[in-house]
Structure 1
Amino acid sequence: MTRTAGADRLAAVVVTFNRLEKLKVTLARLLESPAGELAHVLVVDNASDDGTPAWLATLKDPRLVVQREPVNSGGAGGFARGMREAMARFDPDWLVVMDDDGSPAPGALATFHALDKTGYEGMAAAVYFPDGTICEMNRPSRNPFWHGREFLRTLRGGRGGFHLTPAAYALDRPSPIDVTSFVGFFISRAGIARAGYPDPDLFIYGDDGLYTLGLTAKGGRMCFEPRIRFEHDMGTFSGQQRGEFRPLWKAYYYHRNLLLLYRLAAGPMFWPVLLVILPKWLMKARAHGGARGRFTALIGRAIRDGLTGRRHVPHAEVLRWSGED
Structure 2
Amino acid sequence: MPLASDSPAMTTTTEFDPASATIAVVTYNRSGLLTRLLESIERMDPKPGHLVIVDNASADDTAEVVESFRERIGTKLVYHRLDTNTGGSGGFSEGMRVAYELGSSWMWLMDDDVEVIPDGLAKMGKWAPRFKSIQGRRYDYDGSEFYWQYRVAEPLGIPIPFAPSGFDESGFKEMNSGCFEGMFIHRDIVTQIGLPDPRFFIYWDDQLYGWLASRKTTSVIVNEFVLRRTREIKQWDMGIRHMNASSDAYRYYIMRNRALIKQYYRSLGVYRRVPFATGTALTFGKELIRLVFVERKVRGTSNLFRGLRDGGKISRDRSFKTMPPLVAAS
Fold in common (TM above 0.5)? yes
| Pairs aligned (count) | 288
1:129 partnered with 2:137: no
Superposed CA deviations along residues 287-314 of structure 1, whole A, max 9, x for unmatched, are 889984xx344322211333443699xx
Which residue in 1 is equivalent to 2:252?
252
Task: Report the secondary structure of 2:64's partner residue.
Answer: helix
User: For 2:259 and 2:169, how far apart are their aligned partners in 1?
Assistant: 33
**Which of 189, 192, 200 is the equivalent residue of 1:191?**
189
> Contact 1:127–1:135 (CA<8 Å) still a contact in 2?
yes
> Contact 1:109–1:228 (CA<8 Å) still a contact in 2?
no
User: For 1:126 and 1:55, how far apart are their aligned partners in 2?
Assistant: 27
Any stretches of 5+ residues in structure 2 without a counterpart? Answer: 1-13, 237-241, 318-330
User: For 1:197 and 1:203, how far apart are their aligned partners in 2?
Assistant: 14
> Contact 1:124–1:180 (CA<8 Å) still a contact in 2?
yes
> What are the within-5 Å matches in structure 2 for residues 209-220 of structure 1?
209-217=207-215, 219-220=216-217
The change in CA–CA distance for 1:70 and 1:243 in structure 2 (over 3 A counts) is: same
User: For 1:223 and 1:263, how far apart are their aligned partners in 2?
Assistant: 25
> Contact 1:104–1:230 (CA<8 Å) still a contact in 2?
yes
1:7 partnered with 2:16: yes
User: For 1:53 and 1:180, how far apart are their aligned partners in 2?
Assistant: 29
**Which of 298, 306, 309 is the equivalent residue of 1:301?**
306
Superposed CA deviations along residues 98-135 of structure 1, whole A, max 9, x for unmatched, are 001122212111122233532x2210010111432122
1:236 partnered with 2:233: yes
The change in CA–CA distance for 1:171 and 1:260 in structure 2 (over 3 A counts) is: farther
What is the deviation of 1:27? 1.3
> Contact 2:106–2:186 (CA<8 Å) still a contact in 1?
yes
Moved more, 280-289 or 91-100: 280-289
Q: Percent identity?
A: 25
What is the deviation of 1:238? 3.0
Which residue in 1 is equivalent to 2:61?
51
> What are the within-5 Å matches in structure 2 for residues 142-221 of structure 1?
142-145=151-154, 159-161=160-162, 163=163, 165-168=164-167, 173-217=171-215, 219-221=216-218
User: For 2:107 and 2:194, how far apart are their aligned partners in 1?
Assistant: 13
The change in CA–CA distance for 1:71 and 1:310 in structure 2 (over 3 A counts) is: farther
Task: Report the secondary structure of 1:249's partner residue.
Answer: helix
2:165 corresponds to which letter in structure 1? P
What is the deviation of 1:53? 0.9
Any stretches of 5+ residues in structure 1 without a counterpart? Answer: 313-325
User: For 1:10 and 1:224, how far apart are their aligned partners in 2?
Assistant: 18
Q: TM-score, normalised by structure 2?
A: 0.74
What is the deviation of 1:67? 0.3
Normalized per residue, the structure richer in helix is 1
When the two chains are superposed, the root-mean-square deviation of aligned CA atoms in Å is 3.5
1:267 corresponds to which letter in structure 2? Y
Which residue in 1 is equivalent to 2:279?
273
